Amino acid sequence: MTALYRGMNQASLDAGYNNSAAVQNSAALTAEFDVLSQDLRQLPAARIGLRYGPAARQLIDYFPASQPGPLVVFIHGGYWQMRAKENFSFIANGLMDQGLHVALVGYTLAPEINLAGIVDEVRASISWLRKHAADFGGDPTRMLLSGWSAGAHLVAMCMDEAGVIGGLAISGIYDLEPVRLSYVNDKLGLKPEDVPSLSPLLMAQSQKPMLITYGQSELPELQRQSETFYAARQAAGRPSQLLALPGLNHFTILHQLSESQGALAVAAKALCASPVSHSRGS
């Protein structure tokens, strides 16, 4: 069969980006996420379904910390075409224990909307939080963007938003060319001309600090995506860290955010304590 990308044919490229198939118990893990999330959503202080726009999924779930402080804005994954913020509420647990407020953002999924439209929606959610987070105790001048998988891509796309002080990108996609060539594009509908303007790897790198992280038991292509993006930021002289977590796959890595002393919950706290750059568009 014809090689499409980096020596991979269609079958191997599709397999190289199929995280659910690569992790044998992925269905059980995501079912566990749902149970844990449902429990957290029952917290009396939780603000569920704050509307930032008119579309059905333009909603934010807000989990306040016990005292005023920085805000982590979490963007869910699912290859921009599945899953929902409700599946990931459980990640707020460890972050709140670190004294951080947490807002989980919903957005319209492909194919109902294209990827550029999804980016615009996430930007709108950040703008809404910039205006309203203080009502719930969050500091709108100290927002840390975090996201997983496709959500990490959206983090990298929105780093220039005012009030954002840094990014925590987990198991992300930063070059969309292999995505365009894979089964993922059946619903996403990327065209060749979309890749440069929607691939963080190919765009000017933000001056705000980013921690780029992945599990060492993830698919090689996912690991390469993070490593290549980190290298590009380093080459551009942008403040960056690369954290490869041993023994973790595309799903189990999220426990490092949800557990009180998880590596990513601790890292989020450290990022929120970093000096703030007030420049927009950096």
Reported as a single tens digit per residue, the pLDDT across 19-54 is 999 999 999 999 999 999 999 999 999 999 999 999
pLDDT tens digits for 194-203? Answer: 999 999 999 9
Q: So what's the pLDDT on residue 279?
A: 38
CATH of the domain at 87: 3.40.50.1820
Across 168-195, b (16+ Cβ under 10 Å) vs e yields bbbbbbbbbbbbbbbbbbeebebeeebb
Q: So what's the pLDDT on residue 276?
A: 57
- Other C-beta atoms closer than 10 Å to the C-beta of 278 total 9
Residue 50, domain extent: 10-272
In a domain, 279, yes or no: no
Helix and strand numbers (H, E) in the chain are 12, 8
pLDDT tens digits for 212-246? Answer: 999 999 999 999 999 999 999 999 999 999 999 99
Mean pLDDT along residues 138-146: 98
Decide if pLDDT at 277 tops 80: no
Q: So what's the pLDDT on residue 157?
A: 98
pLDDT tens digits for 238-274? Answer: 999 999 999 999 999 999 999 999 999 999 999 999 7
The torsion angles phi and psi of 107, rounded to 5 degrees, stand at: -155, 155
Q: So what's the pLDDT on residue 282?
A: 37
CB 156 within 8 Å of CB 172? yes
Q: How confident is the model at residue 281 (pLDDT cuts 50, 70, 90)?
A: very low
Radius of gyration over every alpha carbon of the chain, rounded to an integer in angstroms: 17
Q: So what's the pLDDT on residue 280?
A: 34
In a domain, 57, yes or no: yes
Decide if pLDDT at 152 tops 70: yes
In a domain, 141, yes or no: yes
194-198: list long-range contacts, CB under 8 Å, 24+ apart: 194/115, 194/116, 197/116, 198/115, 198/116, 198/119, 198/157
In a domain, 1, yes or no: no
In a domain, 123, yes or no: yes
What is the three-class DSSP state of 253? helix
In a domain, 195, yes or no: yes
Mean pLDDT along residues 81-105: 98
Q: So what's the pLDDT on residue 274?
A: 73
pTM to 2 decimal places: 0.96
In a domain, 266, yes or no: yes
Q: How confident is the model at residue 88 (pLDDT cuts 50, 70, 90)?
A: very high
Mean pLDDT of the chain, nearest integer: 96
In a domain, 21, yes or no: yes
Q: So what's the pLDDT on residue 275?
A: 63
> What whole-number percentage of the chain has pLDDT above 90?
96
Residue the block writes with tokens 């957290």 = 40
The total number of structural domains that make up the chain: 1
